[in-house]
Structure 1
Amino acid sequence: MTVQSDPLEADRALKAKHRDMWALGDYPAVAAEIIPDLGAILVEACGVGRGDRVLDVAAGSGNAAIPAALAGASVVAGDLTPELLEAGRTLATRRGAEVEWRQADAEALPYADGEFDTVLSCVGVMFVPNHQAGANELIRVCRPGGTIGLLSWTPEGFIGQMFATMKPYVPPPPPGAQPPPLWGSEGHVRALLGDAVTDVEARRQTVTIDRFAHPGAFLDYFKANYGPTVAAYRGIAGDPDRVAALDQALTELARAHLHGAEKTVMEWEYLLLTARKHD
């Protein structure tokens, strides 16, 4: 007899897995120490200003939400992982930013249609399993004439290549789930947003990373702090040969990307895309 799986139960289990993964390690440290300026870059590109109503989707610890609030906007930060929201509250208080924090699934946002002037996400919504569902929600909660802004790692850049490197060492994604770095492909995002938007502007840029003195320093940091990497290693912890192979693969990837006179600098590529929702 064939047992039919419950799609809702499967979705709840998948979301719980995502919640747990991003609670591993210390993503707030990654955001603050490795990519602290990316949120402000996105906020500026979206033209966020005083009095704007802003939603930061998959906000993490507020890398974009906090700069938006400091720019004078009224900001809601939503994320699936409570631990990240709690870290965001602490950071916002420390920086004197007023942000409303709310647990929220980016594929089913708990907000009204057209509620926000600007809807943005900084390396956040790219991790939803169903890309079209996430894009549809970005569009739905943005007001007509409002701005949608996205900053996502590209498939060809360092983080995109890191996920490709880890792929053989993690369980296969559920049916229908798409690779996160696809959000770093302009054509993919244009297709997701479709004719719901106009005035699309997209450009590839890089963020300079000078935190790691050698490839091993990168490996140690990400094994300890970055949820997806921590989860990958936990999944193969009982197989020393696979652990060693992944260590070598990630170390070689880092070595290939380090440059500069002392070989201590990386350039991580991302796609910065803004669009206006049709009136």
Structure 2
Amino acid sequence: MSTTEATAATNPEMAALKQRLKATWESGDYGAFAIYLERGAVDFLERIGIEPDTRMLDVACGAGQISVPAARAGAKVTGVDIATNLVEQAQSWARNEGVDARFEVGDAEALPYDDASFDLVTSLLGAMFAPQPDAVAAELLRVCRPGGRIVMGNWTPEGFVGGMFKIIGRHAPPSPLMAPPVKWGDEATVRQRLGEGAELTLTRRHYPFEYPFGPAEVVDLFRDYYGPAQKAFAALDEAGQAALHAELTQHWKAHNQAADGGTYCESEYLEVVARRAG
């Protein structure tokens, strides 16, 4: 039994939280939602520089946004995610693309793989949402071989998405057991979590959000398809839902750079490249 599994077994509140998080990510339809995130995912993957036959693990892989393209580029890809339906979507996409990638249901805090199993461990806007970040950091380091790389993309507290999470949190506060996900976008925190086991390169970048409809409709998209937003709205009464929708819409309007009736915003994220110590 891993340390995380042992903690969950002895802490029923944490075990219950993890079940709620699994249900959250299985709600909505992240595959449909992530269509609009494709451009940023491609940019992230291109900077990694995938070599053929690289043993790659994509943690919190979602519907395969970077896993499937990496497999297409010749990597030997394994994707793992807590949400069963997203794993099924990734498997279906890989079959349709005719690429050799395997996808499994699993927990970023207790990865079901041997030590030093992978040359490259990635997580784009995924592992940052696990509730126990120290356990995540330990697992990312454990499964990466000495000399291998861990590459993450994590929303920053100061960025556009960080601001959106603050708004949602004011209306529907998260569990006190949940470590703030955006701390993975704080450089000092990342150095504390990964710095002793890896050489770090931290770069602030911008992720594009582009939609062919206005800010209010973007908020509708989040409410209908993005699990955390869907659950936040569901926790509120009618008046609370209206207030949350109005504040989120104003947030998108204030940052919208589009002039054609659509929506274009950029959100800062921290690109983490950690070279595993030998």
TM over 0.5: yes
Counterpart in 2 of 1:229? 229
Deviation per residue, 1:71-104 (Å, 9 max, x gap): 1111110011101000111112222222111111
Counterpart in 2 of 1:193? 194
How big is the shift at 1:6? 6.3
Q: Work out the number of aligned pairs and report it.
A: 270
How big is the shift at 1:52? 0.9
Which of 2, 13, 29 lines up with 1:10 in the alignment? 13
Counterpart in 1 of 2:139? 137
Hey, what's the Cα distance between the residues in 2 that align with 1:110 and 1:6?
17
Counterpart in 2 of 1:58? 60
Counterpart in 2 of 1:37? 39
Deviation per residue, 1:110-142 (Å, 9 max, x gap): 111111000110100010101111111000000
Contact 2:204/2:270, CA 8 A, preserved across alignment: yes
More displaced stretch, 227-236 vs 151-160 = 151-160
Question: Aligned pair 1:277/2:276, yes or no?
Answer: yes
Hey, what's the Cα distance between the residues in 1 that align with 2:239 and 2:212?
25
Hey, what's the Cα distance between the residues in 2 that align with 1:105 and 1:67?
22
Counterpart in 2 of 1:146? 148
Which stretches of structure 1, 4 residues or longer, exceed 6 Å deviation after superposition? none
Contact 1:155/1:161, CA 8 A, preserved across alignment: yes
Counterpart in 2 of 1:266? 265
Question: Aligned pair 1:204/2:204, yes or no?
Answer: yes
Hey, what's the Cα distance between the residues in 2 that align with 1:137 and 1:174?
23
Which of 105, 108, 127 lines up with 2:107 in the alignment? 105
Hey, what's the Cα distance between the residues in 2 that align with 1:42 and 1:278?
23
How big is the shift at 1:196? 0.4
SS state at 1:207 partner: strand
Q: 1:192 to 1:23 in 2, by over 3 A?
A: same
Counterpart in 1 of 2:244? 246
Q: 1:6 to 1:201 in 2, by over 3 A?
A: closer
Q: 1:186 to 1:111 in 2, by over 3 A?
A: same
Counterpart in 1 of 2:78? 76
Counterpart in 2 of 1:214? 214
Contact 1:40/1:68, CA 8 A, preserved across alignment: no
Contact 1:42/1:150, CA 8 A, preserved across alignment: no
CA-based RMSD of the aligned residues comes to 1.7
How big is the shift at 1:210? 2.3
SS state at 1:114 partner: coil
Amino acid at match of 1:166: I
Amino acid at match of 2:264: V
Counterpart in 1 of 2:118? 116
Hey, what's the Cα distance between the residues in 2 that align with 1:65 and 1:168?
34
Contact 1:116/1:146, CA 8 A, preserved across alignment: yes
Contact 2:52/2:75, CA 8 A, preserved across alignment: yes
Amino acid at match of 1:268: S
SS state at 1:59 partner: coil
Hey, what's the Cα distance between the residues in 1 that align with 2:105 and 2:9?
24
TM-score of the superposed pair, with normalisation by structure 1: 0.91
Q: Note the residue ranges of structure 2 that are not aligned, 5 or more in a row.
A: 1-7
Contact 1:38/1:64, CA 8 A, preserved across alignment: no
Hey, what's the Cα distance between the residues in 2 that align with 1:184 and 1:95?
33
Contact 1:23/1:81, CA 8 A, preserved across alignment: yes
TM-score of the superposed pair, with normalisation by structure 2: 0.92
Hey, what's the Cα distance between the residues in 1 that align with 2:97 and 2:160?
30
